[in-house]
A and B are shown apart, each in its own frame.
Chain A
């Protein structure tokens, strides 16, 4: 069974070949950096919660 490139991104010889994107808890990003791995962190925020009337108007104007 052949495997294409994408899963192959996980087939690494050592950690230097890994590039990790962390989104969510910052502690996981810190731990990755402590292990000397190439990592970036995305400080995710939940999408906006709007009041009902605003949502209603938006649905009519967009």
Chain B
């Protein structure tokens, strides 16, 4: 058990190290002249040299690398080329919006994906299965940014059912968690809560539709396989009802691959959220990254990359920790 955990931990650290090194190379070595981006288009050689000096870009590469790594270890992401401000605090102000979007999308996605996968497996070839199949095919094939825009155009603008952009139409509730929904509830402000949920509806729909197919199909496959096991026949023969067989017996055994997949998908969500945030002007790190892209603000781009990867690695570690709890057989190996 301890060996299992240690191995996962070492793997996670290796990935993080790889990403940090990769982002360093991408921001310091690959661009032909990072200082030009800082100094601006009209800067002369002297201004470029000054910019390079003030950011330490004129020092040897290995020295920059050490500074970069030791900075990251202290939570210091450096200074934005565009705003000349520290990136760490900026990301912290944008992060809660992204987390709120991603967490709600993930919950809706996991419940819907596993639930409908179960329905699909159980109902076999009936109409409801076909509808689920159709949706999962469409979800896989839709470009998420386009689907988000289509939702925005038709449901938001033409029909006027949902707000087109932003997180909230009123002053945000006092910050406790940074999640507007939770903060609004904590402040007892039901109007703000409803408004925040209303704003979440379209971006969450876009993200859920995008991933939908994966959990649904995997659950369906896993459940169908599991239902052919002798113990299922035994359970049915002993008179257990549908619900009991499916939820009590089959799902418990069929859920393992789904949980692993869900962990991976959380990372995809963090990636896909960039595209959806841009469409809905959602003030999260995706929008922050998009703005940084427009100005070639390498430190900011790389900082978001590191933060998203960190989130991804943490979620996968959590999944690895949950795994032996869900499936005790893991402990033996």
Do A and B bind?
A: no
**Interface on A for B, CB 8 Å cutoff?**
none
